[in-house]
Every structure is written in C-alpha cells, then in structure tokens.
Amino acid sequence: MSILSKLFGGGKRCPICGGEMTFLGSTQLEDEVICDNCIGKIKSEADIQLFWLRRGMDPEDPDKWDRSDTDPIGALTLEEAQEILRPIQDRNQAVIGAFSKAYSSLFFVNEVFPMVDLNTIAVGGKREKRFQNTTVVRGLVLTGEFAEGDVLDAVHMGKIQNTTVVEPVPFDPDLSFETVIVAHFYKGPVKADKAAWLIIDQDGGLAPGDVIGKK
C-alpha cells in the first residue's frame, strides 16, 4: 500500500458492508467510522426523524434530537446504524429473489417526483429538451447497472410499464437533486449497491416501493 493510501485511509474496511474506506469517502458516527456508501443508503432510504422518535426523542428539542452535534447521522452509534440498515438489506434480498431471474439489473424506488421546473435551473439547451415530460426516481441499484438509453420495465402494482433512462445521476446525500443536476457531468452508469436518481422518460405512474428492471 502506498504512503498516500495509508494517509487517506486506504485499506480500512467499513464495519457494516466490508467495503474499503478512504479519508474522503467515510463518515464519523458517534463511536465508529463507516463508508459513505452506507451513509448514502441511510440518508436515501431511512427516515432518521422517525428513528429518533421511536427512541422517545423529541426532534424539536435540539439536546435530544442532535445528542452530540447538529447532525443526527453523526449522532448514531454503529449498532444503531446497523439496526437502521438491517430491514433495508432484508427487503433488498427479497426483491432480488423475486425479480433476479427476469432482470439482470434491478432498482428499488424510494421516491418519485416530476422533473424540477427547468425555468429555475440552468442545465443547458440540449439537456433541457431531453428533460421535458420526465420523471425522477430516487432509490437504490440492487443489482447490475443503469446507463443512459437503457430500456426498462417499471413494475407498478403488478403491471409493467416500459420506459427508458434519460440520465442516471449518482445520489449525493449532502446535496439536493437540483444542485446535483446543474453540476452533473457524470457520463457513466450507476452501479449495484449505490443510491441514485434515475431520470426516466415517463410522466408519472410510479410510486415508492416499485421496482425497475433491465433485462
């Protein structure tokens, strides 16, 4: 291992997923450091406020809500982070078991919203034209990968809707979709075990809990 790798944390494994962590790709919890991929899953999929409420803590009371600082994620212990992720991991395995024979790539939908008002953000003329009448889905790539132009099956209430990826966007837990899409120049696919936004050429018709598959 190089000196730079040692300096920036290379070689240390996330205690949750086992993935390699770097200094710039990890987050300090209350008692442990975990990778930003796991943090992204928590922020993308888990209701942190509900988690604290179930702990009997009042989110309106900063001393109880934040516990140690202004970041409710940073106030989690490793055990609490694992507790949050466990049902998500169980659900993902169930979805993979149900759909993996039909699809090489799977995406679980957590949030659906229409494309933002393109008059309020600067994405460029060509992208603005492509983004007309599209829908944004936020969720987790369970298997495989999703790239621009991929033809998809969106499974909603047992019915299949055909759609296409207009643009895949890696999820950033610290930034809004509007902020990311303006600065987004990523041209590759979004890959398995990563949270992402998919811009698809479909005007509504999907809901949280739906599954998107690519054959």
Encode pLDDT of 8-39 as tens digits. 445 688 999 988 887 777 888 888 999 988 98
- pTM for this model (two decimals): 0.82
Q: Is a pLDDT exceeding 80 seen at residue 48? A: no
Enumerate the β-bridge partners of residue 161.
154
Strand 159-170 vs strand 145-146: parallel, antiparallel, or unpaired?
unpaired
Q: Is a pLDDT exceeding 80 seen at residue 4? A: no
Name the residue with higher pLDDT: 143 or 54.
143
> How far apart are alpha carbons 213 and 185 in whole angstroms?
24
Q: What is the pLDDT of residues 96-136, one digit of tens each?
A: 999 999 999 999 999 999 888 777 777 777 888 888 889 99
Positive or negative: CA dihedral 8, 20, 45, 56: negative
